[in-house]
Amino acid sequence: MVPELTSADTLSDAERSSAHGLEPFSGCLARHGLELNRGQTNTLQINVGLICNQVCRHCHLEAGPNRSEIMSKKTIEEVVAYAKRASFPVVDITGGAPEMNPHLGYLIENIAPVAPRLMMRANLTALAKENTDYLLRLCMANRVVIAASFPAVSASQTDSQRGKGVLEKSITMLKKLNDLGYGRDGTGLELNLVSNPTGAFLPASQDQAEKRFRRYLETKWGLSFNNLFTFANVPLGRFRTWLADSGNLDSYMKKLSASFNPCAVEGLMCRTLLSVNWEGYLFDCDFNLAMGVYLAGRKRHISEMDDLPEPGTQIPTGNHCYACTAGSGFT
Amino acid sequence: MDTYYDPKDLPKFADIGEEAPELAKKFFDYYGAVFAEGELTEREKALIALAVAHAVQCPYCIDAYTQTCLERGASLGEMTEAVHVTTAIRGGASLVHATQMRKIAKKLSM
Ligand code: SF4
């Protein structure tokens, strides 16, 4: 079951737009003479469930400890079988906290041989708690790229988004990963950081933020990493609720739409990514997954798929897509 | 209640160009160039602008540069320290004039 949609989410694009005085995203695309169609799919993103040890305020999936949706072993087997049939250059495991799915080890071991590049979104605090040594050994043996959430170098900002004490625990886990060779030159073990803004504002430029994080983490804690990615928060789920409760929703939506960058459309991740939810249903991206809007608007299970999705099919959009096209875009 | 300062007026800043477009263009081009990354990063420039905004006590600038600082990755700690720099310079500027006061007082006093 996808998370229950809030009343704002169930409104049509046009209704929501007029509520915010916004041009609907579909209209904005049309005005620029653009369409959002699928290209050549290269990434399979597997959402292994919505259980998480944290309750981050920007989480578009409303993941948390009280969720029960988790990908079963049977669905994982179906996902692996499909990955073998279709062959994806990149496989990306996400959640919730993927570490909290008891079959994560099985998934990594079985999908790694057919995934030239295998990535896992690690919630650093969950990785520190759940089968840490076993999972880390497995990640190293299978050259799993770890993408760790790390919003800010300031404790007050990180903790306000992700929970009290999260910065300190994340630093401890990053040290452990560095000690194992992750994020260190010449090891082939890639460690990337992902930074989402800690409020209703746009992310810093990726280049500048990466330089600053690198300098700061190295000087203060002797830590290193490979790349830093900055992403805008998507106005869905818990983040949308926070925006509405804090009186920021309208201004945030306006800010996103004012930052619409037509050049970002071509590189949007939904053009090349296929997202599968904990039950095995398919979506164009993790945000449409959160909205319950299926791949090309049609409910399909991974077990029914033989090949990669057809290029050229239209991708369903909503006003949340403005988060992906703001500035340099969400790719 | 009407107030002199309304946040909704900020986006109208560009309308200033309606009466004197050439001067406005020169100003906005210059403004854009000043804030582009140079020897100082955009983030450092935003922090300086925030400090100056507090010195000139412009609510529009404080609003705009609080947002810009956050969007350039500044922390609330850094932004608070920037305002303390303003305060130290403003306070210091008053206090340093005490040298005048002391000089005059000394001259007049026995
Ligand atoms: S953002 Fe990630 S770590 Fe935070 S609650 Fe959602 S799934 Fe968990």
Check CB contact under 8 Å for A208 and B41.
Answer: yes
Selected residue of A150, A153, A156, A157 to mutate for chain B interface (largest B Cβ count, 10 A): A157
pTM: 0.86
Select the residue of B43, B67, B76 nearest A201 (Cβ to Cβ): B67
Q: How far is the CA of A167 from the centre of ligand 1 (A)?
A: 14
Looking from the CA of A231 toward its CB, the CA atoms found within 13 Å total: 21
What mean pLDDT is reported for chain B? Answer: 94
**Which atom of ligand 1 is least distant from the CA of A162?**
4
pLDDT of residue A1: 33
Selected residue of A150, A212, A213 to mutate for chain B interface (largest B Cβ count, 10 A): A212
Cα separation of A178 and A181, whole Å? 5
pLDDT of residue A154: 86
**Protein residue whose Cα sits closest to atom 2 of ligand 1:** A96
- The secondary structure of A20-54 as a DSSP string is HT---HHHHHHHTT---B-----EEEEE-BSB-S-
Cα separation of A134 and A120, whole Å? 15
Report the sign of the C-alpha dihedral through residues A118, A149, A173, A226, in that order.
Answer: positive
pLDDT of residue A310: 93
Cβ-contact A98, A50 below 8 angstroms: no
Cβ-contact A245, A182 below 8 angstroms: no
**Which atom of ligand 1 is least distant from the CA of A60?**
6
Cβ-contact B54, B62 below 8 angstroms: yes
Select the residue of B43, B70, B75 nearest A208 (Cβ to Cβ): B43
- Give the relative orientation of helices B98-108 and B76-96 as an angle to the nearest 10 degrees: 20
Cα separation of A130 and A96, whole Å? 13
Instruction: State the pLDDT confidence band at B51, using cuts at 50, 70 and 90.
Output: very high
- ipTM of the shown complex: 0.74
pLDDT of residue B4: 85
Give the C-alpha distances (Å, rounded to integers) separating B85 from A172, B60, B90, B91: 33, 20, 8, 10
Write the pLDDT tens digit of every residue in B11-49. 899 899 999 999 999 999 999 999 999 999 999 999 999
Give the C-alpha distances (Å, rounded to integers) separating A138 from A114, A135, A146, B65: 16, 5, 12, 46
pLDDT of residue A293: 97
Report the sign of the C-alpha dihedral through residues A51, A283, A237, A121, in that order.
Answer: positive
Mapping DSSP onto H, E and C, the string for A95-153 reads: CCCHHHCCCHHHHHHHHHHHCCEEEEEECHHHHCCCCHHHHHHHHHHCCCEEEEECCCC
Comparing CA positions, the residue from A2, A94, A4, A10 lying closest to residue A44 is A94
Q: How far is the CA of A11 from the centre of ligand 1 (A)?
A: 25
- The secondary structure of B25-66 as a DSSP string is HHHHHHHHHHHSSSSS-HHHHHHHHHHHHHHHT-HHHHHHHH
Q: Is the CB of A56 under 6 A from ligand 1?
A: yes
Q: Is the CB of A59 under 6 A from ligand 1?
A: yes
Which residue from B minimizes the CA distance to A153? B75
Q: Is the CB of A293 under 6 A from ligand 1?
A: no
What is the average per-residue pLDDT within B56-85?
A: 96
pLDDT of residue A307: 94
Binding-site residues on chain A for chain B (CB distance < 8 A)? 152-154, 156-157, 197, 199, 201-205, 208-209, 212
Check CB contact under 8 Å for B73 and A202.
Answer: no
What parts of chain A have a pLDDT lower than 70? 1-20, 329-331
What is the average per-residue pLDDT within B47-58?
A: 97
pLDDT of residue A327: 82
A175 phi-psi bin (left φ>0, alpha ψ -120 to 50, beta other):
alpha
Tell which one of A56, A60, A166 to mutate to probe ligand 1, the residue whose CB is within 8 A of the most ligand atoms: A56
Pairing between strand A191-195 and A90-94? unpaired
